[in-house]
Structure 1
C-alpha cells in the first residue's frame, strides 16, 4: 500500500482521483449506484465529461459535521478515531485508490490482537436517506462496496460506517472483511479499468445517469445530418416495447377512470393498500400570448434564447421505408 499526501479539493487531488477508482466509484462500477451508471463513470474517467463537482453547502455541512459524527461514533462504540493526512494506493492494483475519513484506534479481536479498521462518515437529510433506500439497520449496497474497496486497498480487517440522518437518527454499522467478496470487487474494478485504459465503452443502460451523461456529451445536433444505425434487432425490440407501453398506459387510464367514476366529487378514497386523491387545484399562469401582443417591445427585451435537444422516434410504414 502506497501513501499519497492528501490535499483535499485541490487541483492535484482532483487530478489524482481521475487517474484511478476511489471508494465512491466502487458502487458505480458494480451497477449499484442509482445516481451514477457504469457508463457515466467511464465517461468521467476517460475525460469525456468533467468529474469535478462544484463545492456546495451540502458538501460543506458534511465536512463540518465530520468531527461531530466521529465523536458520536466514539460515544456509541467506545472506540477512538484519528484523521489521516494521506490517501492510499494499492501496490498490486495501482488504479485502486482510497481517500478515507478516519482510522479507528484501539480495536482488537477476541484474542486481544490489534485490528486495522477504518471509518466512513455519512451525513444526509431524511429526504436523501429515503432516496438512497437507507433505513435504520440497513445500508445500501453501494456503501458496502465502498467499504470493501477501502479494505482491498488498505488491507484492513473491517470497516465501520457512521450515518447521521439530520434530525432523525444516528446509526453505526460494521462490515467484517470478506476476502471472497473483495476479490470479486477487485475483478470487477480491474475489468472496468481495462475499458478506461483501452477506451472501450461499457454497455449502455436505461438509467437517468446515462441519459444525462449523453445529453452533456452531445448537447447540440449537426443540422441536416442523417446516419444509418446498424441495430435492426434493437429497433424491433424497441417497437415491441413502444406498443406494450401504449397498451399498458391505456389499461392504466381505464382503471383510473373507473376510480374517478366511483369517487364522483369525493376528494379522497381508499381500497386495501391503495390511497387515492382527486383534488381541485388552482394555479396562476402567465398569459404569454397576450403579453406578446400588448407589449411586443418588452416581450423581445426579456426573451432569453436557450437550446435543448429533443429526442423523438417514429416508425415508418413499409412504403415510407422503401
Structure 2
C-alpha cells in the first residue's frame, strides 16, 4: 500500500485563493459534478472554507505520479519534469506534472477507476498548453487497482495524445475572466445567491464595464509613474547641466543632454481674437464619435 504521508509540492497550495489552477478549470466550465462555480468562488474569497483536503484517491495519485513519469521518460527518451507557469495579470497558475523543454510538450498524469471521464483532464491540459506555449501534450491514464497497490504496473498505463485547441483555449480564458469578475461582485456582496452570482457576466455590458473599471485603476497608477518619471528626468537634466555632462551611458540606455533652444508655434487664440472673420473662413467642422465619460469615485 502507498504512504499516506506523501507530501504535495508547497507551490500547489501556496496562495491558492489568488489564482485559478488547472484543477479549477472543470468547475469554471461547469463539467465538474462535485463542485459548482459558486462554491469555488466562495472558497477563493474565504467566504466558506474548502471542505476537500485530500483522500485515498489523491494520495494514491501522489504516490504513483513520480513512478509513471520516470517510466515514460525512460521508455520514450523524454525529459518531463514538474513545472509551473504563472500569469499574475490573469490570475492563472498552471502546475503541470511534466514539461519537456527539448520536445516542447507537457505531461498530465491521472490515476482513475473503472468509470473514466477525460473531459476535465483535457480542459486542464488546454490551459497548460497555453501557459507553457506548446502544441501537444500526453495524457497518461493509469487504471487504479482495487486494492490500491502502489507498485507500478506498465500494463495499467495508457497514453493519449492531446493536441492544442485554440478555440477551446479562448473559451477557457473567457470563462476564467468572467469567473474573476463574478468574484469581484461576490466580494462586495458576499450574501448573494448562486443565481445572482451566475447571472453576472451573462450581460456583456457588465463584463466590459468591470474591465474598464480595472483599466481605470491601472491608468491611474500609470499616471503616478509618469509624473515620477518626468520629475526624475528633470532632476537628471539639472545634474548633467551642473556637472557639464553631455552623455551618460548605462548597460541598457544612452542619455543625452539637449541644450535649451527655441520652438515656433502658431498662436491660434490670438489670431481668432484679432482676425475673427478670417479665422471663420478657415474653420473646419468634423464629426465626432460617441464616447463615454468615466470618473473614479472618491474613496469613502
Structure 1 length as normaliser, TM-score?
Answer: 0.49
The residue aligned with 2:151 is none
Tell me the distance in 1 between the aligned counterparts of 2:16 and 2:62: 18
- SS of the residue aligned with 1:51? coil
Larger Rg: 2
RMSD (Å) for aligned C-alpha atoms: 2.8
Tell me the distance in 1 between the aligned counterparts of 2:53 and 2:37: 21
The residue aligned with 1:265 is none
Tell me the distance in 1 between the aligned counterparts of 2:136 and 2:184: 30
The residue aligned with 2:129 is 151
* 8 Å CA contact retained: 2:23, 2:124: yes
1:91-121 deviation digits (Å, cap 9, x = unpaired):
552x1111111113543xxxxxxxx211111
- How many pairs align? 177
- SS of the residue aligned with 2:66? helix
Q: 1:101 aligns with which of 79, 88, 97?
A: 97
The residue aligned with 1:187 is 174
User: Aligned-pair distance for 1:13?
Assistant: 4.7
Tell me the distance in 1 between the aligned counterparts of 2:74 and 2:193: 44
The residue aligned with 1:14 is 13
- SS of the residue aligned with 1:184? helix
The residue aligned with 1:63 is 62
Pick closer, same or farther for the CA change 1:52–1:90 going to 2, 3 Å: farther
Structure 2 length as normaliser, TM-score?
Answer: 0.52
User: Aligned-pair distance for 1:51?
Assistant: 2.8
Pick closer, same or farther for the CA change 1:184–1:54 going to 2, 3 Å: closer
Pick closer, same or farther for the CA change 1:79–1:43 going to 2, 3 Å: farther
1:159-208 deviation digits (Å, cap 9, x = unpaired):
21101012483211121112121111100110011111231768449xxx
Tell me the distance in 2 between the aligned counterparts of 1:8 and 1:98: 15
Pick closer, same or farther for the CA change 1:163–1:44 going to 2, 3 Å: same
In the alignment, is residue 162 of structure 1 matched against residue 158 of structure 2? no
The residue aligned with 1:81 is 79
User: Aligned-pair distance for 1:124?
Assistant: 2.5
Tell me the distance in 2 between the aligned counterparts of 1:140 and 1:82: 21
User: Aligned-pair distance for 1:152?
Assistant: 2.3
Greater length-normalized contact order (CA 8 Å, ≥ 6 residues apart): 1
* 8 Å CA contact retained: 1:70, 1:81: no
Tell me the distance in 1 between the aligned counterparts of 2:143 and 2:120: 17
Tell me the distance in 1 between the aligned counterparts of 2:175 and 2:77: 33
* 8 Å CA contact retained: 1:161, 1:174: yes
Q: 1:173 aligns with which of 131, 137, 160?
A: 160
Tell me the distance in 2 between the aligned counterparts of 1:104 and 1:52: 34
* 8 Å CA contact retained: 2:73, 2:80: no
* 8 Å CA contact retained: 1:73, 1:172: no
What is the 5 A alignment of 1:285-300?
none
The residue aligned with 1:198 is 185
1:69-90 deviation digits (Å, cap 9, x = unpaired):
12443466x2423324x53212
* 8 Å CA contact retained: 2:12, 2:95: no
User: Aligned-pair distance for 1:58?
Assistant: 3.0
Tell me the distance in 2 between the aligned counterparts of 1:152 and 1:51: 27
